Structure 1
Amino acid sequence: MMNPKRETRKLFPGVYFFFFIYLLVLSARFQPSEATKDSSVRQVKLQNHRLGSSIVFPVSGNVYPLGYYYVLLNIGNPPKLFDLDIDTGSDLTWVQCDAPCNGCTKPLANQYKPNRNTLPCSHLLCSGLDLPQSRPCADPDDQCDYEIGYSDHASSVGALVTDEFPLRLENGSTMHPHLTFGCGYDQQNPGPHPPPPTAGILGLGRGKISISSQLSSLGVTKNVIVHCFNHNGKGFLSIGDELVPSSGVTWTSLARNSPSKNYMTGPAELLFNDKTTGVKGINLVFDSGSSYTYFNAEAYKAILDLIRKDVKGKALMDAKEDKSLPVCWKDKKPLKSVHDVKKYFKTITLRFGSQKSGQLFHVPPESYLIITENGNVCLGILNGTEIGLENYNIIGDIFFQGIMVIYDNEKQRIGWIPSDCNKLPNLDQDYGENLSEEAYPRGFGFLGGLFSGTDSSKNKNLVSDGEL
């Protein structure tokens, strides 16, 4: 069963005392080296080689039963491959780390091994973490510690490190920028569901510590993120603006003066079957770290009442025995596809801006329903108020299926366009075929063999967390 609380990560307001001693013991393993102190020199050199290109990664995963989409990314020299949950709802990228590691799910050989490459706590990226630090920066050369917590009480504690990220860009050049990320040496997952199988999180939020922001500050790519998730469990992720179509994209502005650094849009109106629900003025967060979509109590009730009204008296019946999601229906025979029952459901639309010239985000039934292992159909929209989101509304992966979503941090806007996520727009497909897989294996960001990756979705009971 999917964990309906897995998507919303909220930072714990304080730090735990028992971590303090643990961090002191481990600090000897994390002393910053001269290479770390000199990383700013390498960064200056990178800024002299602005390429303005893009990095493209194949994506695997699904909304159900896996619960997330992920990419493979190489880190270090020699490089090691890590599978990371794509999360536009958080800034910090972190991987399970042998320092040694407590609570890690990956075997020792698949954990990141630090090598005297921590970031000092006096570094700007440390002070700009917006995370509660485990202890004050008494010495500028102390390591930069982090602690991040989640709504289901899972957490990651570690230190910031800097290492090489070997990357192949769309224009054919290769880069080895030194980027900062979290070396997570204590993972806790006390909830009833097993931890996700990925090595960590790929943070693509709006903060300075996010990978996209760092690449932009180094002049490697523009701060534009594109993801395209398919219903069949594939897709692509891009950092840079090469994949952005020149026309056909619907754009809406990011909310100004937002108290958070999330990708929050301005107010929208909720429509059902092209008719107003009466719910207006809702702010929405675009968050790929969320499997499902969360509406506040008012919006959730409005949509659920309208859907139940449509379904009433038809072939579908309530399936309360199916605990995959809060609201499920069953047919006379087990269902195999949403298309078998699509005729019973209507399109949901979010209208941003004015009533006459607003920007429309259409969500067909196949992008808000799932078919469970039991052959039932369930609603992939949940009541966020019930899990403490208050008035937040989160658009998750289920709404993103079959749509290219563009997070344009350069122009402070979000765009979307229906897409075949098995194909790359605006790129010469033959170009990628010339790349050598021996020289640039998966995880370096290349186009050759883009959709030939493995898919771990066979593990049907695993869930992942996304940060709010």
Structure 2
Amino acid sequence: MRERITMMVVVVTLLVAQFGSSSASRNLQQGWWKTFLLGGTTSSGVNPAGSSVVFPLYGNVYPIGFYYVQANVGQPPRPYFLDPDTGSDLTWLQCDAPCVRCTEGPHPLYRPNNDLVTCRDSICESLHSPDYECDNPRQCDYEVDYADGGSSLGVLLTDSMALNLTNGLLLNPRLGIGCGYDQIPGVSSHPLDGVLGLGRGKSSIVSQLHSQGLVRNVIGHCFSSRGGGFLFIGGDDVYDSSRVVWEPMSHLDQKHYSAGGAELLLGGKSTGLRNLMVIFDSGSSYSYLNSQAYQSLISLMRKDLNGKAIKETRDDRTLPVCWRGKKPFKTIRDARKFFKPLALSFSRGWRSRSTFEINPESYLIISSKGNACLGILNGTEVGLQNYNLIGDISMQDKMVIYDNEKQMIGWVNSSCDRSPNSHFASM
């Protein structure tokens, strides 16, 4: 979990001599890519079948602590495990440029090529404020700071990523990715090779693939409570839109996937917590409420659990709040009878409302000590300020869809451990 609400981007300097940029090499690569687009898909470069790119997901909320995908980058393609993050835009790999500070990952550091992105490239400009100045016009330096205190500093380049479409085509588009040569891990950093940025900005993978005419500007994910699941980009052949609950993306937050203000319900009744600005963030393993909302929820839950055969325990440090039963719980099913479901109710207007259900299985974990622990945390304590995040735990066994073309967020209960091709029959 990296609570990856991107807070700021600043410019840094790296000597271009480290990479030996070659305009001739870049021209050859660009020529190859144009040939591939014209001959490998269709004459217009558009995918007519509405196919999707599908990544299997690995991991779980607990005990592993995160989900991840495998991306195959470079020529020849090499595997890297990345954190799929709808809360940030830039995709980056820990990079041997050489690396100043890198955490230990599952694979060797990414070896950069010569194909640097220039400072005035539109993708580079999307990572900076409008008034930034180019210290070196031949390269794009970046620094991304995350809300959990982590950061990645590096230089932007283009490289190929091997992608399989659901219609059987294999694509190798060239995409802008970050060569991160200086990483500071945050409090919730994961031992991975980097981040797969899936946000709304121009530098995100989905935006780049869409701009090349390869897929629709839609992403979605399905986290299985059993572990694993899948992530998709495109989506026409993965879900049935008529079965999905849709909510417009908020106009008040253009940077994140937010459905706007919501009311929190407990057991179907109002908690009095209204107008909570909610963000859907796959980069967070757990869900977060701002401090006031969090304390109110804890108080209501304690009141509701009073007198039941379950007691709060201070002996379990797995998460801040845990409860023990008369005997250790083996599964969440053993504990769920003590807890009421939560829900977020989004207003669609004067009368109509849509509801995002959060059952006990989607906000509790069973710790190694057999206690039920609350997977909703105090976001203010980790730097999220007034943001409220729906993290992986609360999106389990749901397909969550982010349609950037229609500016809609959707969700539907789903069997996430099934392959996407069987989903129309199982949603």
Give the structure-1-normalised TM-score.
Answer: 0.82
Task: Pick the structure with more strand per residue.
Answer: 2
Partner of 1:327: 321
Tell me the alpha carbon deviations over residues 198-223 of structure 1, each in whole angstroms, 9 at most, x when there is no partner: 10000000000000000000011111
Between 399-408 and 302-311, the greater mean CA deviation after superposition: 302-311
Between 43-52 and 402-411, the greater mean CA deviation after superposition: 43-52
Partner of 2:233: 239
After TM superposition, list the pairs within 5 Å mapping 1:107-256 onto structure 2.
110-130=108-128, 136-141=133-138, 143-189=139-185, 195-241=189-235, 242-256=237-251
SS in 1 for 2:153: strand
Unaligned runs of 5+ in 1: 430-468
Deviation at 1:298, TM superposition (A): 3.3
Q: Pick closer, same or farther for the CA change 1:113–1:370 going to 2, 3 Å.
A: same
Deviation at 1:40, TM superposition (A): 5.5
Partners of 2:10 and 2:167 lie apart in 1 by: 45
Contact 2:74–2:161 (8 Å) recurs in 1: yes
Aligned partner (choices 364, 368, 376) of residue 373 of structure 1 = 368
After TM superposition, list the pairs within 5 Å mapping 1:22-421 onto structure 2.
23-24=14-15, 27-34=16-23, 35-36=25-26, 46=37, 48-51=44-47, 52-106=50-104, 110-130=108-128, 136-141=133-138, 143-189=139-185, 195-241=189-235, 242-258=237-253, 260-353=254-347, 354=349, 356-421=351-416
SS in 2 for 1:118: coil
Between 281-290 and 28-37, the greater mean CA deviation after superposition: 28-37
Q: Pick closer, same or farther for the CA change 1:428–1:256 going to 2, 3 Å.
A: closer
Tell me the alpha carbon deviations over residues 12-45 of structure 1, each in whole angstroms, 9 at most, x when there is no partner: 5767xxx75xx33xx3122333343566556666
Q: Pick closer, same or farther for the CA change 1:384–1:29 going to 2, 3 Å.
A: same
Partners of 1:108 and 1:419 lie apart in 2 by: 30
SS in 1 for 2:143: strand
Q: Pick closer, same or farther for the CA change 1:396–1:190 going to 2, 3 Å.
A: closer
Tell me the alpha carbon deviations over residues 357-381 of structure 1, each in whole angstroms, 9 at most, x when there is no partner: 3111101001000111222111111
SS in 2 for 1:238: strand
SS in 1 for 2:26: helix
Partners of 1:60 and 1:109 lie apart in 2 by: 16
Unaligned runs of 5+ in 2: 39-43
Aligned-residue Cα RMSD (Å) equals 2.5
Partners of 2:72 and 2:170 lie apart in 1 by: 13
Structure 1 stretches of 4+ with a deviation exceeding 6 A read none
Deviation at 1:186, TM superposition (A): 1.4
Deviation at 1:301, TM superposition (A): 2.7
Partners of 1:206 and 1:341 lie apart in 2 by: 38
Q: Pick closer, same or farther for the CA change 1:297–1:190 going to 2, 3 Å.
A: closer
Q: Pick closer, same or farther for the CA change 1:128–1:190 going to 2, 3 Å.
A: closer
Contact 2:69–2:81 (8 Å) recurs in 1: yes
How many residue pairs match? The answer is 413
Higher relative contact order, structure no. (Cα contacts within 8 Å, ≥ 6 residues apart):
1
SS in 2 for 1:125: helix
Deviation at 1:109, TM superposition (A): 6.5
Give the structure-2-normalised TM-score.
Answer: 0.90
Deviation at 1:264, TM superposition (A): 1.1
SS in 1 for 2:7: coil
